[in-house]
Amino acid sequence: MPETSSPTAPHLLLAALGGTIASTANAAGGVAPALGGVEIAAAAGLDGIWPDLQADFTQVAQVSSANVTLEMLFDVVELARSTEADGVVLTQGTDTLEESAFGLWLLNDSGVHIAATGAMRNPTLPGADGPANVRAAALTALSDQVSGLPASLVFDDEVHDPRFARKSHVTSTAAFSSGPVLGAIGWLSEDALHLPHPPRTPKSPFAGLARPERLSKIALAEVGMGEPEETLDLIAGSGFAGAVVSGVGGGHVPEELLPAVARLAETMPVVLASRTGSGASLTKTYGYPGGEIGLLESGLIPAGLLDARKARIVLNLALSFGLAPAEVFAGFA
Ligand code: ASP
């Protein structure tokens, strides 16, 4: 198995956005982001791996996960485009880490890998996991094995393909998963990256495009038992540029919702995803009213391999870049 360490002095850029990994006690009686990249990296003991490591630090923001924006991801990509570093580690809150890692996977055309990570236990707690996660992310970002991969989500010594990873537990230090079938694509042990089957990475539809002036507003509606049609009608009348319907199972809605789905699809592009969170949404299995065959025939766009949260990002970027959503989503089938 190839080792990750470079024999010559490696150069790392750590871009920090805040989150639990950066949090210390605050006046509200809880914790809040306060630490910068220098302190975060110091705790990871990177000089124990690379005594001559050259490290740069950029504080892109100092926010909780919920306040991370797509605009910040564009900022991180601009850093990757302009850096002379061999790899980038992004630290941020875990609550939206899956969105950031996937956004970076879509946007990072710099050729410099970005490994996104965070922490479940803040630095004031025993067993804080941030330092080990940063160490693992640095080992990943600086590895030759990730060349050609725009981004990864590195957590709990596992490496995930951002197209499939999700946060699936509120507090566990093993909070990230790529679903029951795929799983992680690699792991770290003994300060080495093991990536026996690097993913074949299709070219992002957004690679090489200039940053759009404005991003779009996309609604996301998860459908469940007894879902009222008003949810979809409110979206149809609220000025969104597009919507994602997260359907049950393979991508289905209750029969009573069909008129509201049709009204919605008349006003904006609507992507149909599965609320299960992993696997590919179906296209040709269920023919009953509310099944995916009829929904797709009525003009909904299949999310393919993407879960609803990721489909929301792709639809936003497609519309913001002025690309046809159906063509963009065809690349994720
Ligand atoms: N639970 C979060 C985290 O892991 C808090 C946040 O996302 O800001 O960082």
DSSP string, 285-306: S--STTSHHHHHHTTPEE-TT-
pTM beyond 0.85, yes or no: yes
Q: Is residue 206 part of a domain?
A: no
Q: Is residue 205 part of a domain?
A: no
Q: How far is the CA of 75 from the centre of ligand 1 (A)?
A: 20
Ligand 1 lined by 246 (C-beta under 6 Å): no
| 190 shares a domain with 246 | no
Q: Is 140 a catalytic residue?
A: no
Domain span at 112: 11-194
φ/ψ of residue 19, rounded to 5: 90, 180
How far is Cα 194 from Cα 134, in angstroms, rounded to an integer?
16
Q: How many domains does the chain have?
A: 2
| 245 shares a domain with 303 | yes
Q: Which of 178, 194, 210 is the last residue in one of the domains? A: 194
Helix (H) or strand (E) holding 24: strand 23-25
From first to last of its 333 residues, the chain has per-residue pLDDT tens of 344 444 568 999 999 999 999 999 999 999 999 999 999 999 999 999 999 999 999 999 999 999 999 999 999 999 999 999 999 999 999 999 999 999 999 999 999 999 999 999 999 999 999 999 999 999 999 999 999 999 999 999 999 999 999 999 999 999 999 999 999 999 999 999 999 988 988 889 999 999 999 999 999 999 999 999 999 999 999 999 999 999 999 999 999 999 999 999 999 999 999 999 999 999 999 999 999 999 999 999 999 999 999 999 999 999 999 999 999 999 999
Report the residue among 23, 95, 153, 167 best suited for mutation to probe ligand 1: largest number of ligand atoms under 8 A from its CB.
95
Ligand 1 lined by 95 (C-beta under 6 Å): yes
Q: How far is the CA of 311 from the centre of ligand 1 (A)?
A: 22
Q: Is residue 105 part of a domain?
A: yes
Listed in order, strand segments (DSSP E) in 228-292 are 242-247, 270-274
Q: Is residue 201 part of a domain?
A: no
